[in-house]
A and B are shown apart, each in its own frame.
Chain A
Amino acid sequence: MRLGYFVSETATNLRRNLLMSIAAISTVAISLLLLGGVQILSMIVNNVTLSWEARVEISAYLRDDASPGEIQALQEQLSGYSEVEDVTYVSKTQAYAEFKELYRNQPEFYEPIGPDDLPASLRVKLTDAGYTEEVADRIEGAPAVEDVRFGGEIIKRLLQVNSLLRTITLAMSLVLMIASAALIANTIRLAIYARRDEIGIMKLVGATNWFIRIPFMLEGVFAALVGAIVSSAIVVAADALLFSRMGEAVAFLGPVFTFSAGEIASVLLLLVAVGCVVGLVGSTLALRRFLEV
């Protein structure tokens, strides 16, 4: 019976201030959408990093004057490292073939050069991308090696851009969350104002403070929850419609836009949880003065 009372009171409050409620709900939705965006962005970067890491190889370019014996020795030495999974020799001819394949649509790139212009190399595949720099350093010193290259720089850059983007977006969503808490507080204050006579009588006849507060707190949480559901729906829709297509378009990057159900669920959970917190904070702000009476 009490539950029914609280629910109907909450519904009445929301209806009375429909416009304010809509404003509060949409700010919550927008701020949470930003938050969800941040989460998805870092999931994308994570995917990119993973797929890059899987492909991280160290290319040890060999001196043209290195003797087959030296190369053989280096190859055996590298194979002996526990961090090294596989070492392949790429001859000048093979390198040129790959180069031609890579730029097959731009003959002006490969036509002027021949196999002799490209260095032979050893391609070192690691068991774990984390050892890249360490192993690269060791190879650097070998006499047959002219230069060592690996994809670490790109990943580093990517992570930097990601953390910058994260910070900016998180700051924006924080500001919006404060705004939505304030809007919720305002909505509730209006609801309290509209019902001040009833509240006065409730106090008069001995209704407990919690009995009076609960419908208003529910109102705040409900508004925030609707906002969270709206933003969650947008995230789910984006995942189903947008990301799958983007994933197909950039399939060569690997499964960058593919998220497991668990990953999506964790984003939704975060949105709903943060939404509830925003609603509670807003309600508490509105009720604080009223608590003292």
Chain B
Amino acid sequence: MIKTTNVSKYYKDGIRALEGVSIDIEKGEFVFIVGPSGSGKSTFIKLLTKEEDPTEGKVFVAGKDLSTLPGWRVPYLRRNVGCVFQDFKLLPNKTVFENVAFGLEVIGRPKAMVRRQVPQILELVGLGEKLDRFPDELSGGEQQRVSIARAFVNRPLILVADEPTGNLDPATSVGIMRLLDRINRTGTTVVMATHDHAIVDSMRRRVIELENGHIVRDQSRGIYGVGT
């Protein structure tokens, strides 16, 4: 589902974000990308949606070589890769329903489909009662659920999450992880960058650890790390 071969990313200012990273992620896997700040986690996530291009090496997502993917195809790639962020990225002037519907409308999905799928997905993330609330009327955890609903409403093959629990307290984080786990069980590949020890340790899933742009560990059913 996701494959990188010897990928390096050097930014213009000389920062070597990734060096020689080769990762193979199967369909339906749940993978944590862990490591300290600046280890290259976010850069790796950005390669998957072609927000950044690697300086060297190749990235394959859903069977497509992203280096040869023309610019106009990128939107179609992104429809297969749902994204969740630390800061939720919700539109404050739209209700919960509208925020999720927006994700479908702007890729040209018909109204009938929007009306059918949005309440369904909001039910799934546990916000079936809060369709008409605005983001600032919700707790952080609820806002993150809306953002996950938006990323997942289009049923992407892959869900990538960059520090989705970074702004949430531990109890709320557990709820979010349960939700991501549920989404993973529907067959969706989940890639999550995090430095939240407790979560990684409790989930016992594959862990890829980055340090200074290098893979220092790739372990199935791993924990965050020894001595960190």
Task: Select which of A5, A206, A209, A211 is within 8 A of B77 by beta carbon.
Answer: A206
B103 touching A201 by the CB < 8 A rule?
yes
Main secondary structure on chain A at its contact with chain B? helix
Q: Tell me the bound Cα distance from A206 to B51 in angstroms.
A: 12
Q: Which residues of A contact B78 (CB under 8 A)?
A: 203-206
Task: Select which of B82, B105, B154 is within 8 A of A5 by beta carbon.
Answer: B105
Chain B interface category by residue count: 20 to 34
B76 touching A206 by the CB < 8 A rule?
yes
Q: Tell me the bound Cα distance from A2 to B108 in angstroms.
A: 7
Per-residue contact bits, chain A 158-177, to B (CB 8 Å; 1 contact, 0 not): 00000000000000000000
Instruction: Decide yes or no: A201 and B75 within 8 Å by CB, A1-B110, A206-B107 being known contacts.
Output: no
B106, CB-defined interface residue at 8 Å:
yes
A202, CB-defined interface residue at 8 Å:
yes
Q: Which residues of A contact B151 (CB under 8 A)?
A: 205
For A1, give the chain B residue with the smallest CB separation.
Answer: B111
Most A CB contacts (10 A, CB to CB) among B75, B76, B111 go to B75
B106 touching A205 by the CB < 8 A rule?
yes
Instruction: Decide yes or no: A201 and B76 within 8 Å by CB, A1-B110, A1-B111, A211-B108 being known contacts.
Output: no
Q: Which residues of A contact B82 (CB under 8 A)?
A: 205
Q: Which residues of A contact B102 (CB under 8 A)?
A: 198, 201, 205
A112, CB-defined interface residue at 8 Å:
no
Per-residue contact bits, chain A 172-203, to B (CB 8 Å; 1 contact, 0 not): 00000000000000000000000001101111
Q: Which residues of A contact B111 (CB under 8 A)?
A: 1
For B147, give the chain A residue with the smallest CB separation.
Answer: A201
B178, CB-defined interface residue at 8 Å:
no
Query: A residues touching B (Cβ–Cβ < 8 Å)?
Result: 1-2, 5, 197-198, 200-209, 211-212
Pull 10 A–B residue pairs with CB atoms less than 8 Å apart, ordered by A.
A1-B110, A198-B102, A201-B89, A201-B102, A201-B106, A203-B78, A205-B83, A205-B150, A207-B106, A208-B72
